[in-house]
A and B are shown apart, each in its own frame.
Chain A
Amino acid sequence: DGGITQSPKYLFRKEGQNVTLSCEQNLNHDAMYWYRQDPGQGLRLIYYSQIVNDFQKGDIAEGYSVSREKKESFPLTVTSAQKNPTAFYLCASQWTGVGQPQHFGDGTRLSIL
């Protein structure tokens, strides 16, 4: 089945710890995205990548880092510099070009211990 797999589903972070959220897609999409969603709010873009080995900051990149070493994979690291990491994190992918919809993984819910 083609799709986007995010893991883990739930993640807990200790003070001063970096954690990495996994996102893998087998849709052969070129572009991949990371969003953060807080209760009652819309999706805010953290980072995106349109090709391998290249990525750009979104609106709220501070305290986060990414890599894009393979087309299928776009992991997000939440660093200790992100002081308020508790949120629902969504990974999306799409074909590049205007008019293409984004498709989402099931999300990772991150909480602070």
Chain B
Amino acid sequence: QKEVEQNSGPLSVPEGAIASLNCTYSDRGSQSFFWYRQYSGKSPELIMFIYSNGDKEDGRFTAQLNKASQYVSLLIRDSQPSDSATYLCAVNNNDMRFGAGTRLTVKP
């Protein structure tokens, strides 16, 4: 079992829709959770982090964490073509573990 699992996609949504990206992790001791966006050929950039169960909102982005289910998600509201990228989930206990990423395409 992979430590951090994400659907590879591609996930395709129309412009203006909500994109929902999901991530599960195996280490119950994980304490912090991050979402990175990676455009093709570029390096990952941090867009959200969450430490506590529940929702955390930042502009059009909402991170959701459920530690009991070992599940973290990222919602992107009002999706734009510029949101088309690969989204990496990262989970930190004593070290950082990355998922393989979900490729999102937002169609105009």
Contact between A104 and B43, CB atoms less than 8 A apart: yes
Contact between B43 and A99, CB atoms less than 8 A apart: no
Q: Which one of A40, A43, A105 lies within 8 Å of B88 (CB-CB)?
A: A43
In the complex, per-residue mask of A79-104: 1 if CB is within 8 Å of any chain B CB, else 0: 00000000000100000001111111
Which residues of chain B from 1 to 58 have any CB-CB distance to chain A below 8 Å in the complex?
4, 8, 31-32, 34, 42-46, 49, 51
Question: For the complex, is B98 an interface residue (Cβ under 8 Å from A)?
Answer: yes
Which residues of chain A from 16 to 58 have any CB-CB distance to chain B below 8 Å in the complex?
33, 35, 40-43, 45, 48
Q: Please report the number of residue pairs spanning A and B whose Cβ atoms sit closer than 8 angstroms.
A: 46
Residues of B within 8 A of A42 (CB): 4, 88, 98-101
Whether A106 contacts B92 in the complex (CB less than 8 A), given A40-B8, A42-B100, comes out as no
User: Could you tell me which A residues sit within 8 Å of B by CB distance?
Assistant: 33, 35, 40-43, 45, 48, 90, 98-107
15 A-B contact pairs sorted by A residue (CB < 8 Å) = A35-B98, A41-B100, A42-B100, A42-B101, A48-B95, A90-B44, A98-B93, A99-B31, A99-B32, A99-B49, A100-B92, A101-B46, A103-B46, A104-B43, A104-B44
